[in-house]
Chains A and B, each alone.
Chain A
């Protein structure tokens, strides 16, 4: 008799289990930002997705940003999740080329993203196909001490000459024009990118990072000539090579330096250092060569589907969901960044407002030197930029060396 009950019990439980598993879809997402703000933004979006799709069972794996960069190389082939966060542009190159991501052109077409995310579509494209959906990007530009500008009677420069004139006035009053921290080299790349985008425009910059133009090309040399001028008249703080970008906030906060070429994530840092919103403001990097359309740096974060994912349907649903303006707006409001969907709403923080108008009207969106150029080129390039900043007279040697590296890397 007991055996009979046992068998019945077992079969009932099995049925129940089968029933639940049959109606629940599993979706595994790997995400890489542990900072409280971004984590909350993501979790809210996931919660909204779960509410809209109650039959999908979402599991989230959180990884530290740096660890994620090496973890992804392994989990894409061994036991991949259904969705992973990563960076578009050349950064997704190795994975796309190894066939580890899933193309989603159909999704973009179906959701009308080619219109709503037109500015960022080229960045998500490789080898003629589209590979992921971006959920956030942020603007770069020049953050400055409004109070110092006011004291010196300066206004936001619109052209290169305006900026240089501002710098002259600052220097004669004992203020270092720019602060920067190049211990971690990417900050110098930010300055280079803008100088190149303003001197030569988006197409030339892209051609350079794609390996189609040499570093010793006269147009690139012109960029470095402008940089020389900048180092001279709009000098940077001493000792920047031993400062991280956070260390470089100190002179900015103390009033020793008045401007910082940075991304919007730095605003929190300024506030933590004691500056108020009235003391800081933002302007777009001024035009250099007249007539060159203004492109901007706007590094994007995106989600991708690994080609080995088990549940691609649920993954596609997720991507379609988070591409919507109603989701992107609040998410980016939480993390203080910009939604790639141009239909989304934005917060009324003054930096976000200004950033949104700058980026939405941009003639093109660069993804930052270390994402646009392949890794080997990026690392040598950035070392070259730092060396140039410390030793501008070595420019020819540096550019010749970068050419050699370029020949090696882009075969």
Chain B
């Protein structure tokens, strides 16, 4: 393997490497460590400008408790969940169907439609901003949870279809042929033959979409107006009180906002990485 495996080199080199690893990690994660320190700081430190020094008082529980009691963080977090979970469910299911169609069937518009999904996923959001917002307002979906997850589901369908199509294409086609010969209906083939086989891909995809949608900031700003249905990414900004900079609270809330995707990431690392690197593993 490349680079030269550590296990085979001199003990001194090996020890040096293993000692350097944690240092490298701390340097790499320094910004995160800093924000964590800020989130346990007391407000006295904030007012005297001591944002990055060692905290003079440790208020871990008080700050995180305050985030939930004095601010709307709980509502924002709930909104994030209410927006992200339906999005994942809808986009993954639709993409399964669409990916199956594009991978298995030979028809003339298969490839162009596939490219439509791919291209649509890469377009800059801004080209969609005004019409989608206007449509949401006209249909009464503006500033609602449904409005947000319907949009996200539709947009993420592009990426999901790309993903599922490539995955299904890699499955052995014989299974389907055999089923067809036996006269099994198409949708039954999909349900009973293909679906069980794509479970790992579904897991990977769900994790990825969860992260993308949970961390979205732009559409939270475009599709909401009040505080009622804002997800946590947009809500973090609003937590800066109008007249006082509550940085310790903002840090605590930001870290709380980061917890679900990180948690899911640790649980499903393998799937996450498989999902992101699908194209690289050819």
A: which residues have CB within 8 A of B?
A: 35, 63-68, 70-71, 74, 78, 244, 246-247, 250, 268-269, 272-273
Contacts and interface: CB of A to CB of B under 8 A. Distances in A.
Given A74-B137, A74-B142, A273-B47, A64 B243 contact: no
B49 interface: yes
Given A64-B226, A71-B226, A74-B137, A250 B243 contact: no
A74 B137 CA distance: 7
Q: Decide if the interface of chain A is mainly helix, strand, loop or mixed.
A: helix
A244 B237 CA distance: 14
A244 B245 contact: yes
A67 B245 contact: no
A408 B224 CA distance: 31
Q: Decide if the interface of chain B is mainly helix, strand, loop or mixed.
A: loop
Contacts of B242: 35, 65
B176 interface: no
Interface size of B as a range: 10 to 19
A247 B240 CA distance: 12
17 contacts: A35-B242, A63-B225, A63-B226, A64-B227, A64-B238, A65-B242, A67-B225, A67-B226, A67-B227, A68-B225, A71-B143, A71-B225, A78-B137, A244-B245, A246-B243, A250-B49, A269-B244
Contacts of B226: 63-64, 67, 71
Interface in B113-140: 137, 140
A392 B238 CA distance: 34
B225 A70 contact: yes
Interface in B159-188: none
A200 B205 CA distance: 64
Nearest to B143: A71
A137 B228 CA distance: 29
A128 to B, nearest CB: 31
8 smallest CB-CB distances across A and B, nearest first, come from: A71-B225, A67-B225, A67-B226, A70-B225, A74-B137, A64-B227, A269-B243, A63-B226
A81 to B, nearest CB: 14
Contact of B244 (A63, A68, A71, A272): A272
Given A66-B238, A272-B244, 4 more contacts: A64-B226, A64-B238, A74-B225, A272-B243
B95 to A, nearest CB: 32
Contacts of B224: 67
A246 B244 contact: yes
Nearest to B226: A67
Contacts of A78: 137, 140
Contacts of B137: 74, 78
A63 B226 CA distance: 6
A273 B46 CA distance: 11
